[in-house]
Amino acid sequence: MPALLAVATLSVAWEDGCTPFSIAMNDAGGIVRAKLTMDEKSAVGLEVVEVLHGKDLPKKILVSKALWDVWGPKALPPGQATYLVLLRQGEELLCGHINGLIALSHSCHGILPVVEGAIPKQFAKEYDGTSDQAIALSQVRKQVRSIERGR
């Protein structure tokens, strides 16, 4: 069983103790949209369907089942979502762990679902810390482009 760790990985913490996706993406080496390809006892597989930011990113990402159980989006119908994922480098997730140890809190929201072209309203606050309405994927893409111009 993987070790669990409860500490902060980023300096900005919000009311739920976690940095929103839109803030954390400033530190991401890659931002991808991926679909779930397998959900097994030891790992969750994600296949990249779109690269929003980054170069030489993997086509497939394996996420430990323990990390997915803590940080993966909950209460979604199977097969109906893709996921926005923040990567540090390669297939290493930016959020939810420190050197492989799973953070139970005070990390960042680095995996968000996209359903019918938008982040559903129940996950919108995890995206920017304030929204309570669905956020269109086109708005996310626009924000990613503005970050890239600023680098």
Q: Concatenated DSSP letters for 63-85? A: EEHHHHHHHS--S--TTS-EEEE
With beta carbons less than 8 A apart as the criterion, state whether 69 and 92 touch: no
Token readout for 25 is 């993406």
Token readout for 99 is 């050197």
Per-residue confidence in pLDDT tens, the chain, 151 aa? 444 444 443 344 445 678 999 999 999 999 999 999 877 778 899 999 999 999 999 999 999 888 888 888 887 866 789 999 999 988 899 998 877 778 877 689 999 999 999 999 999 999 999 999 999 999 999 999 998 887 7
pLDDT at 10: 39
**Which region, left, alpha or beta, applies to residue 51 given φ > 0 means left and ψ of -120 to 50 means alpha?**
beta
Residue boundaries of the structural domains of the chain:
4-150
Q: Is 3.90.550.10 the CATH classification of the domain at 4-150?
A: no
pLDDT at 15: 56
Is pTM beyond 0.95? Reply is: no
